Amino acid sequence: MLINCVAYQNGVKLADLPVEEISDYLERKDCFVWVALRDATDGELDTMQEEFGLHNLAIEDARHGHQRPKIEEYGDTLFVVMHLVEVTHPDLEVGEISIFAGHNFILSVRNRSSRSLLGVRARCEREPDLLRLGSGFVLYALMDATVDLYFPVIDELESQLESIEEHLFDQGNALANIEQLYELKRKVMVLKHAVTPLMEATGKLHGGRVPPVCATTQNYFRDVYDHLTRINATIDAMRDTITTAILVSQSTVSIEQNVINKQLAAWAAIFAIATVFTGIWGMNFRLMPELQWDLGYPVALLIIIAVCGFLYLRFKRSDWL
């Protein structure tokens, strides 16, 4: 659906437009049109393609969605795809925003996301000197707002990791920790897939040959690139920490299993001794000396208890029990 359609000239808002009048304002000097769509229909995209002269391949990508973050040039038009990542407990919600930027227009198409970007328009309108730079500055503002959404996600994932680390050595909790760590690793990878391709693509907007749309705003895109670089470094550090935590948890499981095996082996040894004695004295021999002794049975029990007690104390001293 259409969120808004506004014309600007020299950094000042002219009017809210009906879609039919877009082409009229595109012909004006120092004027650009900013259109925002949410979950656009095929008909709306066809109309925008006709009004702005958009490339078929770019429209096809915006129509089907589920694209890898990227920045592509189609003539004088820049096509940008970014992922909108938000924390929705217990999982992450991943939406998508496709942006078409030309010298006198900017079109954003937001899909599968409840996150509003109306604050970007308000911010730009409060800075007419920067808005005068045209669609290049609006593209920067949209990218900057999208990247800023990644910081709360990073903070939430780091908090979850710290919470797991606090219980990393709790006895009997190792398997639950491994499960939580793998789930956290999956979330980190979702964010990684949103950040890394975009970081690589953004590098083309501030150095060397830049697209004409971004010619006057290179420094701003460098700032976006710096933010993405910082986020990517944090993600890599989290991945390393999670991998280490998983190894520690697996080692803890092995240690706990070894402790149990040692305890079982110790008790097996104790009962084996008792079994040997009872097996010998339980045989039906007629000439066993203990059979003619009144204290034979109590002494046999005392010997069994004494030997088992001795083994128990030795195993206890060796931390097997």
Q: Is 54 left (phi over 0), alpha (psi -120 to 50) or beta?
A: beta
174 located within any domain: no
Tens digits of pLDDT across the chain (321 residues): 888 899 999 888 888 889 888 888 888 888 899 999 998 899 999 999 998 999 999 999 998 888 899 999 998 899 999 999 988 877 888 999 999 999 899 999 998 887 778 788 888 989 988 888 889 999 999 999 999 999 999 999 999 999 988 888 887 788 888 899 999 999 999 999 999 999 999 988 887 778 888 888 888 999 999 999 999 999 999 999 999 998 888 888 777 777 777 778 888 887 887 787 777 666 655 556 666 666 666 777 787 788 878 777 877 777 776
Same domain, residue pair 131 and 5: yes
Residue 31 CB: number of other CB atoms within 10 A? 17
Domain termination site, one of 142, 171, 202: 142
Q: Which of 120, 142, 164 finishes a domain?
A: 142
Give domain status of residue 180, yes or no. Answer: no
Q: How far apart are CA 79 and CA 284, in angstroms?
A: 95
Task: Tell how far CA 187 is from the center of its chain.
Answer: 3
Select from 107, 142, 177 the last residue of a domain: 142
Distance CA 119, CA 121 (A): 5
| Residue 49, domain member (yes or no) | yes
Instruction: Name every residue whose Cβ is closer than 8 Å to that of residue 271 and which is 6 or more positions away in sequence.
Output: 308
CATH code assigned at 262: 1.20.58.340
> Residue 245 falls within a domain, yes or no?
no
Asked if the structure places residue 68 within a domain, the reply is yes
Establish if 164 belongs to a structural domain. no
Our count of domains for the chain comes to 2
Q: 198 lies in a domain?
A: no
In a domain, residue 107? The reply is yes
Residue with tokens 């701003």: 220
β-strand partners of 99: 80, 108
**Which residues form the domain of 11?**
1-142
Residues 135 and 261 in one domain: no
